[in-house]
Each structure stands twice: as structure tokens, then as C-alpha cells.
């Protein structure tokens, strides 16, 4: 998942409003005087090498609130100057100064994002609870600046704009749409109500996310050594380290995160503990306590529904998808429903295989959700003789990183070199930084930060973000890109071994980083993206994990250094479509629920009942649960970036499968130089300066076809 670092004229504040915030949102924030603002180091120009870098090593939480407030005031003042101009609106005197504005606040947001996602604490959440409503008010003030909007609208409708380059015309349209689709055309009470709804939603989104984080941090299962049956030594060592970090030496901590839950459910022979871990994980935000999210879901949905009806839309999904590749909820649903029957039919086959194996062993059980991963692994061993733990011995985190650098070199002509120690400030000792340069010219491209390990206060999952994006319109600005993961850190000196799924995710998030680093756009707003398209580039990069160059050069045994055996690689490839019923169904269930929530009248909604009844109507297999159950579905309810957009992973997967076939068929395979050039030129470098559909056709010569996806997952093709 990517977290976009965009300007206010796109969605940077909206992204911030998805971050965690506490329940004390009604506290009044203090006033910041001009003297304080002028000396606040978080607002300062970035200094040092590489075009300047954030001072992560000296950032002080006590300065954050003042910096955000002062940055907002400065940006609003800059926009007021543009709006008050007596000159006729033009691209040069309206759009360009808007793109130049807000730079002080842009410098604050990376610090804010680090505290929100990587270093969250109760103290930060108190600050965030005061700041988030102010950010929402600030964004509303921009959207409701009528004089500014009228200037933007005049440029949008002008003959001058029609003579501009294609990318500049797209820039003008994107800026105009940000206003028009956010209520800038509303008047009177409707305009005031729209702003009030935005203000109300902001703390609800962040409270939802904080409730999930509280349940992740608050539920840790500590085990004794006799309870480790079936668990790999590497996992046990990481669990021991996690327990020691929590002042429980001699025990083993199973944390309430996917990176801990997933391997535990795969390997543990203790069925009662598997059920306990499963129930704890999937009940996040749904425990009937102070961190329960069900009432928040209803409040959020009601406000979203009311807001889009002020704009004349039937429902939130209709409004949201209007500017996505799907264009309408009906098209998105059609895609999901085309895949759903094949997915649940495959689940039935998978469960039958697992049940037969359990019966053969005399387990005397019925396969339940907490058994799925465990018995799927057993079936994998029986059908394909593929042991997930055996594969893991060849998946060292450092070697995978080197493999990603190799791929980036061959496809993007990038070189990654570690920066001199201490030359670039970092916010935690685990973070490392590399300089990215062009292989041919040696020209500086940007920096890549990596924060790989789980820790308290860091949100779960994996994501990419950019602290600074590429621009050239006002002096060249290079990229500061970051990848963030939650791998379990092993004992000191031991290599970190990861699962195959984790390795794919590592490549996936690196794809987002390459998307940022490849940018050749001139203007900040064009570094954005269309949500059901931006996951495509990262999903596509996962394909290179199974290329011969990676397999032969980087997948080596952590003890012997021997390359992964060809026979084991053959098993991995043969099992590539194994368990696709589970993977597709758990994902699609969440994506369909997302769409159902936002096309349904929320007036009398009971989320628990609605989730259960909707899944029953869909024929959801009882052995599988949604990948993200409603009360912890942060993609959808801790912000709006993925709301009615979770389907986008499947939409992007259609593009991915189709593009993957193009590389598989190319003369040079996945490293074909001509096709790699088209990949960069049309799919990575343009960012949002090209319409995604046009960009894909330029790369492929036609639209993507769903049949490639069905083949890719081993489903029947009609």
C-alpha cells in the first residue's frame, strides 16, 4: 500500500487525516505567534547533502503542533495573495503560484507522518487529536476560497489552456477537479454544511485507526517453550526477542499483527492457541470496549453519504469512482463478480483437500478458519512437496534487498549505494538510507530510506511514502522515497528470514518507491495517481521475484550460502496458483463489502449484522474470513484514500497479469530492454501526467484483458 505525499491542491491533507488520532479531538489547539513560527525548526528549509534532507534525528514532538499550525497559516496567506490578484487569471499567475505554495507545510508533513506511522505514542496522539480537526478546517478554507476557485475555473475554461501541453492541460483539470469535486461550487448553507462534515469526519477517521492500533498493541500472547510446537526456530527466536523487548524475558511474544499472526497460524500445532490468536487478530476493533469501532463506522458512512448528496450524487461510491479507471461502482462490481464464483469454487476444492488430510491423520475436526493456513501448508507439502519453512531458509531480507537493487538497475538504470554513515539523519536506529543514481551518467536521482522492522508504536503492514517528490518547473527537486515494513527482527547477528508472501510484499512496496524515483513530471500535483491504477506498478514488480536472475543470484541458504535448488524453484512455480481460492476470496470479500457499504443507505445500519448478512448472500465460505473485517478495515474507515477503492487491487491485478504476459512473451523475457523502456516511459515515469488508460495502451498496444488474470490465478477461462 502506498501513502502518497501530495500537495494540498491534490490530497496531502486528506492523507494526513487518515493517520491515527486520539479521542481528545475536541481540545482547542493553542495559538502560535509569528515569532514562534519563524524559529520553529520543523518549518525550516532542509539542509545538508542531496538537495537537503529532513532533520529526523533532531525532531522534537513539542514543536510539531506549532509547526503544523504556522505552516497552514502561511499557505492560506499565500493562496489569498493569488486569489486577490487583479490580473486576469492565467496559467502563469494562478496555477504555477499555487504549485509553488505551501512549501513550509510540505516540510512539516514528513515529520508528522513519521510520528503517525513509524513512531506513534500517546503523547503524539494527543497532539494529533488537536491538529487533525484544524487540518480539516484548513483544507475546507482552501476549497471554499471562492475567489481562488473562480480564478482556477477561469483558467480551466480558457482558450489559453487549450494551447498548453497535454501534461499542463491535465494539471489544470486535476486542480480544477480538486475544487469542483470537493464542493467549491456549493453556496449558502450547503457550502457551510459540507465544511462542517469534513471537520466531523477527520477525527472519526483517526479515532478509528487509533482504536485498531490500541488493539494491536494491547493484545500480546506470551507463550512458554512447551507451547512452541511446530514453530520454526527463526520464528521462535523473533518471538523471544519480541517478548524481551516487552520485559518478558524467557517467554515468546505473539503480537497482534499480521506478520506475527500469519506464520503462527501456518505452523503452530497447538490448535487451541491457533484459535486464540485468530480470534484476537480478527476481532480488532470489535470487542465491545472503548476501542470498539462499530459505532464509528455508522457515523462515518452517514456523513460521507450526506456529503456527496450535497454534490448531487446518489451515493459515495458513485462520487468516488467518477475519476478512477473504473468510472462507476457498477463496472467495479462487474469485475469482482466475474471473479468471485471461481474464487469460492476453488475454496471448496481447497477445503476438501484439507479436510481429507485432517481425516486421514485422525484429527477428528472440521476445518475452521484458524485451521486454514495450517492445513493448507500440509496440503502444499503433500501435493507439491513444498515446505514453506524450507523456502524461507533461502529468503534473507538483505539478499532480497540486493535483488531489488539488481532489478532496478536492469529495468530502470538505477544504482543504489549506501550513504556514508551519519550523513543523512534518520528517526530510528533501524533505518538505513541509500543514494540512487543513474547508472550511465552518475546523476543523482534521490534517496531511498528503509525502515524494515516491527516495533511498538509502528502501524502494522507495509507501505511506501515520499518525503519529497520530483519536480522541475521551479528548479529541479529530487526524490526522497521510503519503504516501511514490519518484519520480525531476529536475534543480534542473525539474518532475518521472511516468508514467500513477505518477499513478494517487499518487492511490491519497492515498486511504489521506483514509481516515485522514476518520475519525470514537472509539477507537484502530477506526482499523484489514480487509486485503482497506482497499485498496478507495484504489483507488477512482484513478478521479478521469480525471474532467473533473482533466483540464481540472491536466493541462497542463510547458513550454507548455497543457491536455492532448482527442484525447489520448480515446486514454487508449480504451486504458484496454490491456495488462490483463499487469497482471492478473503480479498474480494473485503472489496465487495467496501462497495456494499458505500452503495447502501446507512441510516439504520448495524455493521456487524450487515457484514454477516451481506457475506451470507454472497455465499462466503465459512472457513474463510474477510482479509480486513469491517471494524479494523483501516483502508476504508481510517481515511478515504481507499474507501470504495479497495477493489482497485483487483483492477490493478488485471493490468498486472496482462503486462506480465507481455514480458513473458518478449524476446528478452522479463529483462527485455525494449519492453523495459516502454515500462518506464509510459507506466512509471509519467506518474499522473497521462490518463492511465492511455498510458497502458501506449505500453501494451491495447487494453488489458481479464482472461490474463484468470489464467494467472489458475481459474477457468470462459
Within a 10 A sphere around the Cβ of 350, how many other Cβ atoms?
24
Structure confidence at residue 386 (pLDDT): 87
Average pLDDT, stretch 405-416? 98
Query: Residue 208 has what pLDDT?
Result: 97
- Nearest of 338, 253, 406 to residue 717 by alpha carbon: 338
Alpha-carbon distance of 440 to 124, in angstroms, equals: 44
Least confident range from 164-168, 349-353, 492-496: namely 492-496
pLDDT in tens, 149-189: 999 999 999 999 999 999 999 999 999 999 999 999 999 99
Contact at 8 Å (CB) between 182 and 143?
yes
> Tell me, what's the pLDDT at 6?
32
Q: Tell me the mean pLDDT in the region 352-356.
A: 97
* Contact (Cβ atoms closer than 8 angstroms) between residue 283 and residue 606: no
Percent of the chain, pLDDT > 70? Answer: 95
pLDDT tens digit sequence for 93-114: 999 999 999 999 999 999 999 9
Note the pLDDT of residue 16.
36
pLDDT at 21 over 90: no
Which residues have a Cβ under 8 Å from the Cβ of 510 and sit 6 or more positions away? 404, 408, 464, 483, 538, 541
**All cell numbers assigned to 537:** 506498478
The SS3 of residue 243 is helix
SS3 116: helix
471, 465 Cβ separation under 8 angstroms: no
Q: What is the pLDDT of residue 600?
A: 97
The reported pLDDT for the residue numbered 416 is 98
3-state secondary structure of 487: strand
Q: Cα–Cα distance between 11 and 14 in angstroms, integer?
A: 5
Confidence of residue 443 (pLDDT cuts 50, 70, 90): very high
pLDDT confidence of residue 36: 52
Strands (E) located in 119-229: 220-223
Contact 470, 519 (CB under 8 A): yes
Q: Is the pLDDT of residue 14 over 70?
A: no
**Is the predicted pLDDT of residue 33 greater than 90, yes or no?**
no
Range in 24-38, 286-300, 470-484 the model is least confident about: 24-38
Asked if residue 5 has pLDDT above 50, the reply is no
Is 276's pLDDT higher than 60? yes
Q: In 3-state terms, what secondary structure has residue 440? A: coil
Report the DSSP pairing between strands 479-487 and 444-453: parallel
User: How sure is the predictor about 38, in pLDDT bands with cuts at 50, 70 and 90?
Assistant: low
The residue among 445, 448, 433, 434 whose CA lies nearest residue 470 is 445
* Other Cβ atoms within 10 Å of 186 Cβ, number: 18
Cell 473504473, residue located? 326
pLDDT of residue 37: 54
The reported pLDDT for the residue numbered 493 is 83
Say yes or no to pLDDT of 28 above 60: no
Label residue 9 by pLDDT band (50, 70, 90).
very low
Q: Which residue carries 494491547 as its cell? A: 218
pLDDT in tens, 413-425: 999 999 999 999 9
How far separated are the first and last CA of the chain, in Å rounded? Answer: 31
| Segment 640-680, tens digit of pLDDT | 988 999 999 999 999 999 999 999 999 999 999 999 999 99
User: Is pLDDT of 2 > 90?
Assistant: no
What are the phi and psi torsion angles at 642 (to 5°)? -110, 5
Query: DSSP of 34-95, one letter per residue?
Result: HHHHHH-GGGSPPBSSTT-B--TTT--GGGHHHHHHHHHHHHHHHHHHHHT--SPP-IIIII
d(CA 490, CA 497): 8
Domain residue spans in the chain? Answer: 12-213, 219-272
pLDDT band at 15 (very low <50, low <70, confident <90, very high): very low
Q: What is the mean pLDDT of the chain?
A: 93
Separation between Cα atoms, residue 400 and residue 397, nearest integer Å? 5
Give 628-663 as a DSSP string. Answer: S-GGG-HHHHS-SSSTTTTTHHHHHHHHHHHHHHHH
Which residues face 417 on adjacent strands?
Answer: 435
Give the integer Cα–Cα distance in Å for 117 and 98. 28
**Separation of alpha carbons 187 and 481, rounded Å:** 40
Mean pLDDT calculated for residue range 444-472: 95
Residue 120 has pLDDT above 60, yes or no: yes
State the CATH class of domain 12-213.
Answer: mainly alpha
What is the reported pLDDT for 641? 84
How much is the pLDDT for 174?
97
Task: Find out whether 42 and 64 touch, Cβ atoms under 8 Å.
Answer: yes
Question: d(Cα 110, Cα 494) in Å, to the nearest integer?
Answer: 32
Q: Which of 687, 676, 54, 689 is nearest to 414 (CA)?
A: 676
Quickly state the pLDDT bin for 489 (edges 50, 70, 90): confident
Residue 35 has pLDDT above 60, yes or no: no
Going by the DSSP 8-state scheme, the letter that residue 492 receives in this structure is: T
The values of phi and psi at residue 88, to 5°, are: -60, 140
Per-residue confidence band for 24, with pLDDT thresholds at 50, 70 and 90 = very low
Q: How far is CA 489 from CA 116, 230, 235, 263, 288, in A?
A: 21, 20, 10, 14, 33
Amino acid at each position: 500500500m502506498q501513502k502518497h505525499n501530495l500537495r494540498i491542491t491534490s490530497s496531502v491533507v486528506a492523507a494526513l487525516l487518515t493517520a491515527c488520532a486520539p479521542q481528545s479531538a475536541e481540545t482547542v489547539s493553542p495559538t502560535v505567534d509569528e515569532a514562534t513560527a519563524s524559529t520553529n525548526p520543523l518549518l525550516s528549509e532542509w539542509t545538508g547533502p542531496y538537495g537537503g534532507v529532513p532533520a529526523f534525528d533532531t525532531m522534537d514532538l513539542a514543536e510539531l503542533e506549532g509547526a503544523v499550525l504556522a505552516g497552514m497559516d502561511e499557505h492560506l496567506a499565500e493562496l489569498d495573495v493569488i486569489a486577490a490578484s487583479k490580473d486576469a487569471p492565467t496559467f502563469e499567475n494562478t496555477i504555477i503560484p499555487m504549485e509553488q505554495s505551501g512549501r513550509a507545510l510540505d516540510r512539516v508533513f514528513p515529520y508528522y507522518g513519521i510520528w503517525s506511522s513509524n513512531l506513534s505514542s500517546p503523547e503524539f496522539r494527543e497532539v494529533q487529536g488537536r491538529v487533525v480537526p484544524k487540518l480539516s478546517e484548513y483544507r475546507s478554507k482552501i476549497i471554499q476560497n471562492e475567489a481562488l476557485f473562480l480564478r482556477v475555473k477561469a483558467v480551466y475554461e480558457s482558450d489559453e489552456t487549450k494551447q498548453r501541453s497535454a501534461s499542463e492541460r491535465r494539471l489544470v483539470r486535476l486542480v480544477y477537479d480538486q475544487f469542483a469535486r470537493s464542493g467549491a461550487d456549493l453556496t449558502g448553507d450547503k457550502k457551510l454544511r459540507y465544511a462542517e462534515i469534513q471537520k466531523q469526519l477527520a477525527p472519526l477517521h483517526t479515532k478509528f485507526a487509533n482504536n485498531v492500533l490500541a488493539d494491536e498493541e494491547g493484545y500480546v500472547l506470551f507463550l512458554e517453550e512447551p507451547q512452541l510446537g511446530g514453530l520454526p526456530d527463526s520464528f521462535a527466536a523473533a518471538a523471544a526477542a519480541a517478548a524481551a523487548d516487552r520485559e518478558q524475558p524467557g517467554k515468546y511474544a505473539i503480537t497482534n499483527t499480521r506478520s506475527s499472526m500469519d506464520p503462527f497460524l501456518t505452523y503452530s500445532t497447538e490448535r487451541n492457541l491457533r484459535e486464540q490468536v485468530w480470534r484476537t487478530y480478527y476481532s480488532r476493533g470489535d470487542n465491545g470496549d472503548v476501542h470498539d469501532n462499530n459505532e464509528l463506522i455508522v457515523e462515518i458512512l452517514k456523513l460521507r453519504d450526506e456529503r456527496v448528496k450535497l454534490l448531487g450524487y446518489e451515493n459515495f461510491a458513485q462520487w468516488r469512482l467518477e475519476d478512477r479507471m473504473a468510472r462507476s461502482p457498477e463496472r467495479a462490481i462487474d469485475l469482482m463478480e466475474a471473479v468471485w464464483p471461481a474464487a469460492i469454487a476453488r475454496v471448496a476444492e481447497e477445503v476438501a483437500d484439507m479436510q481429507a488430510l485432517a481425516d486421514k491423520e485422525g484429527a477428528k475436526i472440521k476445518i475452521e478458519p484458524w485451521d486454514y493456513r495450517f492445513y493448507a501448508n500440509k496440503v502444499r507439502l503433500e501435493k507439491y512437496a513444498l515446505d514453506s519453512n524450507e523456502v524461507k531458509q533461502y529468503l534473507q531480507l538483505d539478499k532480497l534487498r540486493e535483488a531489488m537493487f539488481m532489478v532496478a538497475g536492469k529495468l530502470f538504470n538505477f544504482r543504489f549505494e549506501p550513504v556514508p554513515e551519519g550523513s543523512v539523519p534518520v528517526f530510528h536506529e533501524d533505518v538505513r538510507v541509500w543514494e540512487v543514481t543513474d547508472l550511465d551518467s552518475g546523476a543523482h536521482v534521490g534517496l531511498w530510506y528503509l525502515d524494515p522492522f516491527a516495533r511498538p508504536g509502528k502501524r502494522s503492514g507495509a507501505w511506501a511514502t515520499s518525503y519529497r517528490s520530483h519536480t522541475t518547473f521551479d528548479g529541479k527537486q529530487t526524490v526522497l522515497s521510503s519503504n516501511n515494513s514490519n518484519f520480525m527482527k531476529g536475534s543480534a547477528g542473525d539474518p532475518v528470514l521472511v516468508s514467500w508472501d513477505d518477499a513478494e510484499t517487499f518487492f511490491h512496496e519497492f515498486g511504489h518507491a521506483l514509481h516515485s524515483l522514476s518520475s519525470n513530471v514537472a509539477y507537484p500535483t502530477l506526482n499523484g495517481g489514480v487509486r485503482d491504477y497506482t497499485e498496478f506498478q507495484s504489483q507488477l514488480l512482484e513478478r521479478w521475484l521469480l525471474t532467473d536472475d533473482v533466483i540464481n543470484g540472491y536466493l541462497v541458504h542463510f547458513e550454507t550460502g548455497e543457491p536455492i535448488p532448482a527442484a525447489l524453484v520448480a515446486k514454487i512455480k508449480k504451486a504458484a496458483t496454490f491456495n488462490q481460492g483463499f487469497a482471492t476470496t478473503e480479498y474480494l470479500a473485503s472489496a465487495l463489502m467496501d462497495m456494499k457499504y458505500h452503495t447502501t443507505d446507512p441510516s439504520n445500519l448495524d455493521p456487524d449484522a450487515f457484514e454477516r448478512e451481506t457475506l451470507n448472500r454472497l455465499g462466503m465460505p465459512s472457513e474463510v474470513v474477510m482479509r480486513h473485517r469491517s471494524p479494523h478495515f483501516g483502508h476504508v474507515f481510517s481515511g478515504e484514500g481507499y474507501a470504495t477503492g479497495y477493489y482497485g487491487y483487483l483492477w490493478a491485478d488485471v493490468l498486472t497479469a496482462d503486462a506480465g504476459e507481455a514480458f513473458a512473451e518478449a524476446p528478452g523475457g522479463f529483462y527485455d530492454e525494449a519492453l523495459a523502456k516502454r515500462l518506464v516511459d509510459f507506466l512509471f515515469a509519467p506518474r499522473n501526467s497521462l490518463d492511465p488508460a492511455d498510458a497502458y495502451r501506449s505500453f501494451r498496444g491495447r487494453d488489458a484483458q481479464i482472461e490474463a488474470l484468470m489464467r494467472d490465478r489458475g481459474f477457468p477461462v470462459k
